[in-house]
Structure 1
Amino acid sequence: MVKRISILVFGFLLFSCSTSNKVVEKKPLYEVLATNNNGGANIKFYEILTEPKEIMMLLGDESLRKKIKKDDTVKSNFLILNSGPTKETYNRIKVEKVVETEKEIIVYIKDTQKETEIDLSDENIIYPYTIIKINSKKPIVIK
């Protein structure tokens, strides 16, 4: 009886301590979470969200709540690119590329805004914005 129990314990230990190769999913450096043609602010700005309290405000948006996990607030930074008012039918601000260096994350932005004055009383004005998740807590530089 003692032999059987010791064999079972040994077998259990042998299989429970296996060296199975777990595949670690590598996340992309950045993800575009939302690009909307309306709903942004009436000024052009770029905002970097780094603090968990700042990032938690994004969870108030129904569509973003599904894309942001709880641990993203401590493992990721977020970037809000607000285009300001426009009559153009597409978002003028695009992310060209994102590069990670030893010390920081560099986000290259292309803004195709035309140099025209917008009449804010016009009903055809839209307010595009983009929200990006950077899968790193390194400081972000926008170029």
Structure 2
Amino acid sequence: MENYPSPGLGSIPTVAIVIYLAILILTAAGAWKVFVKAGKPGWAVLIPIYNYIVLCEIVGKPIWWFLLMICPCINFIFVIWVANLVSKSFGKSEGFTVGLILLHPIFVMILGFGDAVYLGPSAKEANMNNRFGSGDYQKPFDPQA
């Protein structure tokens, strides 16, 4: 029997890890820029649960929505909904939302490093006074509030 040299245990897995880390770093940098464009601290991207809370603030949804985004079985619905609101908050269409969901790293970098401008929260609750939104919590049924 002849012994053939192996290509090395570290060659292919190492390249895959380096590519994965590069994509991860570029995605984090793009998300950092998205948060900064929205007037939020960029470092919030790096903190696991807090980034969902800040994302809810960016799109104008109540902060407790982060629980819906981490709850099993229903989280994919709310993550897609928030992704749509993010694209609307930056003046993009539903096609951009599909790209944001399917090719997240690329479209986050387009949103962060591109010429997209934050237009404000796109959620209805953030743009009108209602008893569940941003109205006066002391008098929730007062039409003057």
TM-score, normalised via structure 1 length: 0.29
Higher relative contact order (CA 8 A, sep 6+): 1
User: Which has more strand, going by share of residues?
Assistant: 1
